[in-house]
Amino acid sequence: MNYLVKIAESITGIEVGTIEYKLARKDVFVKSANLSASFERMTSEPKRRQKNVKDVHKFVVLNHILSSYIATVASTISGKKNYQNQAEDIKLVKKSIAVLNDTSEKLGGKLVQFKTAKTTATTIPVPQSAQHDDILLKEQLGFINKISVDIARVTESILS
């Protein structure tokens, strides 16, 4: 979620440095490796002690997919100096963060705060080449939102 918040800050106009992106990405890699290692230890347990293996596997895979989508968006946004944010982009990111915060809370994790910059969303006409990038960005943000919802569903299934 911290990595996604860095993306959200960039989209809303808050300047995020390269080092901040790299640290957030490193944190994702470390936590992702820990999650995978935990899953591997779980699967090495006797079958009678394993619970919800398929759902836990889905959870691990969805987390990897989510980090991949976030990395794609991060590379797209970090390459743009004058990103013109769209209200829909901000809305998608806020939804994703809210869903992930809710899921994290259910798992006993920390909530991540996201505050937007004081600037408002802009919908300035952009050149044709930039429109293509904006469409791809919007699709990626939509995928992030969908994966966040899928993670929430799998988490509910594991916890019930």
Q: What is the pLDDT of residues 118-141, one digit of tens each?
A: 544 444 444 455 677 778 888 999
Q: Would you put residue 3 in left (φ > 0), alpha (ψ -120 to 50) or beta?
A: alpha
Rounded mean pLDDT of 10-25? 86
Average pLDDT on 6-11 reads: 86
3-class state of residue 25 by DSSP = helix
pLDDT at 81: 57
What are the tens digits of pLDDT across the range 91-121?
889 999 999 999 999 988 888 887 765 544 4
Q: What separation in angstroms does the CA of 106 have from each of 31, 122, 152?
A: 18, 35, 9
Mean pLDDT taken over the chain: 84
Calculate helix-pair angle for 87-106, 2-12, nearest 10 degrees.
Answer: 160
The whole-model pTM stands at: 0.82
pLDDT tens for 57-85 read: 999 999 999 999 999 888 888 766 555 66
| Res 87: pLDDT | 81
For residues 113 and 145, which has the higher predicted lDDT (pLDDT)?
145
